[in-house]
Structure 1
Amino acid sequence: MAQHHHHQESGPALSRAAQTTLEAAGEQWTDMRAAIFDAIAALDKPASAYDIADMVSNRRGRRVAPNSVYRILDLFVANNLVRRVESSNAFIANSHPGCLHDCIFLICDSCGQTTHIDNDAIASDVRAAAQASGFAPARPVIEVRGRCAECD
Structure 2
Amino acid sequence: MGAHEHQLHQGESLKKAAREQLTSRGEQWTGMRESVFEALAGFDRPASAYDIAEAVSKNQGRRVAANSVYRILDLFVGANLARRVESANAYVANAHPDCLHDCIFLICDNCGQAVHIDDDALSGGVRKAAASAGFSSARPVIEVRGTCGECDSN
Aligned to 2:58: 58
> Could you say which residue in structure 2 is the equivalent of 1:133?
133
Unpaired stretches in structure 2, ≥5 consecutive residues: none
Structure 1 outlier segments of 4+, above 4 Å: none
Normalising by structure 1, we get a TM-score of 0.98
SS in 2 for 1:139: coil
Task: String of CA shifts for 1:74-122, please: whole Å, max 9, x gaps.
Answer: 0000000000000011000000000011120000111111011111000
Deviation by residue 1:106-140 (Cα, 9 ceiling, x = unmatched) = 00111111011111000100000001101110111
SS state of the match for residue 64, structure 2? coil
Q: Give the secondary structure class of the aligned counterpart of 2:39.
A: helix
In structure 2, what residue type is equivalent to 1:13? S
* TM-align CA RMSD: 0.8
Q: What is the number of residues matched between the two proteins?
A: 152
Counterparts of 1:138 and 1:95, CA distance in 2: 21
SS at match of 1:67: helix
Equivalences for residues 26-105 of structure 1 within 5 A: 26-105=26-105
Partner SS for 1:144? strand
Give the aligned residue type for 2:25.
A
1:4 is matched with which residue?
4
Q: Tell me the residue number matched to 1:116.
A: 116
One-letter code aligned to 1:25: R
Which deviates more from structure 2 when the two are superposed, residues 80-89 or residues 5-14? Answer: 5-14
> In 1, Cα distance between the equivalents of 2:101 and 2:7?
15
Q: Give the structure-2-normalised TM-score.
A: 0.96
Q: SS in structure 2 opposite 1:84?
A: strand
The 2-side partners of 1:7 and 1:150 are apart by 26
* Structure 1 residues 4-57: Cα deviation after superposition (integer angstroms, max 9, x where no partner): 232211111100000000000110000000000000101110000011000000
Matched position secondary structure for 2:72: helix
Supply the distance in 1 between the matched residues of 2:109 and 2:58 (Cα, whole angstroms).
28
* Cα distance in structure 2, aligned partners of 1:91 and 1:2: 25
Aligned partner of residue 74 in structure 2, secondary structure: helix
Gaps of 5+ in 1: none
Aligned residue in 1 for 2:20: 20
How far the C-alpha of 1:2 sits from its partner, in A, is 1.5
